[in-house]
Amino acid sequence: MPDLSYAGVMSRKNEIMKKAIGIDYSLFEYGKLAFDYEGMMEKAAYSIPKIQEIQRETKVGDTPLYELKNITKLVRKYAGPGKGARIFIKDEASNASGSFKARRASVSVYHAKKNGYKGLIAATSGNYGAAVASQAAMRGLKCIVVQEVYDSRKTGQPEILEKARKCEAFGAETVQLTVGPELFYVFLRLLEETGYFNASLYTPIAIAGIETLGYEIANQVLEMEGKYPDAVIATHAGGGNLTGTARGLIKAGATGTEVIGASVDLSGLHMASDNDFNKKSFTTGHTGFGVPFTTMPDRADVPRNAARVLRYMDRYVTITQGDVFFVTELLAQLEGMERGPAGNTSLAAAIAVAKEMDRDDILVVQETEYTGAGKHPMPQLTFARNNGIEVRRGNPGESIPGKSIVIPERIDQIAVKDFDMMKLKNNYIRNVIEKNKLTEITNEDLVFLKEDATLDEKEALAILDKYNIKVV
Distance (Å, rounded) from C-alpha 99 to C-alpha 97? 6
Same domain, 82 and 213: yes
Same domain, 351 and 296: yes
Query: Is there a contact between 202 and 238 (Cβ–Cβ < 8 Å)?
Result: yes
Q: Indicate the average pLDDT of the chain.
A: 95
CA dihedral 325, 328, 334, 339 (to 10 degrees): -170
Same domain, 329 and 197: no
- Partners of 319 in the β-ladder: 264
pLDDT in tens, 223-246: 999 999 999 999 999 999 999 999
pLDDT in tens, 414-456: 999 999 999 999 999 999 999 999 999 999 999 999 999 999 9
Identify the CA nearest to 265 among candidates 380, 374, 405: 405
Residue 27 lies in a domain: no
Same domain, 320 and 268: yes
Domain that holds residue 305: 54-98+205-418
The 3-state DSSP class for residue 124 equals coil
Same domain, 277 and 332: yes
Distance (Å, rounded) from C-alpha 30 to C-alpha 20? 23
- Partners of 407 in the β-ladder: 393
Same domain, 156 and 60: no
Query: Is there a contact between 260 and 418 (Cβ–Cβ < 8 Å)?
Result: no
Residue 338 lies in a domain: yes
CB atoms within 10 A of CB 202: 26
Q: State the SS3 of 105-119.
A: HHHHHHHHHHCCCCE
Does residue 261 register a pLDDT over 80? yes
Query: Is there a contact between 231 and 285 (Cβ–Cβ < 8 Å)?
Result: no
Distances (CA, A) of 363 to 89, 230, 238, 261, 317: 9, 6, 22, 13, 15
Same domain, 104 and 135: yes
The 3-state DSSP class for residue 30 equals strand
* Amino acid at residue number 442: T
Give the count of domains, the chain. 3
Same domain, 330 and 254: yes
pLDDT in tens, 137-149: 999 999 999 999 9
* Amino acid at residue number 233: I
Residue 29 lies in a domain: no
Residue 35 lies in a domain: no
Same domain, 309 and 445: no
Does residue 173 register a pLDDT over 80? yes
Looking at 140-231, list the stretches that DSSP marks H as alpha helix, in order from N- to C-terminal side.
158-169, 182-194, 204-225
Distance (Å, rounded) from C-alpha 455 to C-alpha 258? 17
Does residue 1 register a pLDDT over 80? no
DSSP classification of residue 278: T
Q: Which of 153, 178, 203 is the last residue of a domain?
A: 203
CATH of the domain at 209: 3.40.50.1100
Does residue 283 register a pLDDT over 90? no
pLDDT in tens, 337-393: 999 998 999 999 999 999 999 999 999 999 999 999 899 999 999 999 999 999 999
Does residue 75 register a pLDDT over 90? yes
Percent of the chain exceeding pLDDT 70 equals 100
Sorted by sequence, the CB contacts under 8 Å of residue 410 that are 6+ apart come out as none
Same domain, 125 and 13: yes
CB atoms within 10 A of CB 178: 17
The 3-state DSSP class for residue 61 equals coil
Same domain, 429 and 410: no
Identify the CA nearest to 299 among candidates 161, 392, 212, 202: 202
Query: Is there a contact between 302 and 21 (Cβ–Cβ < 8 Å)?
Result: yes
Residue 345 lies in a domain: yes
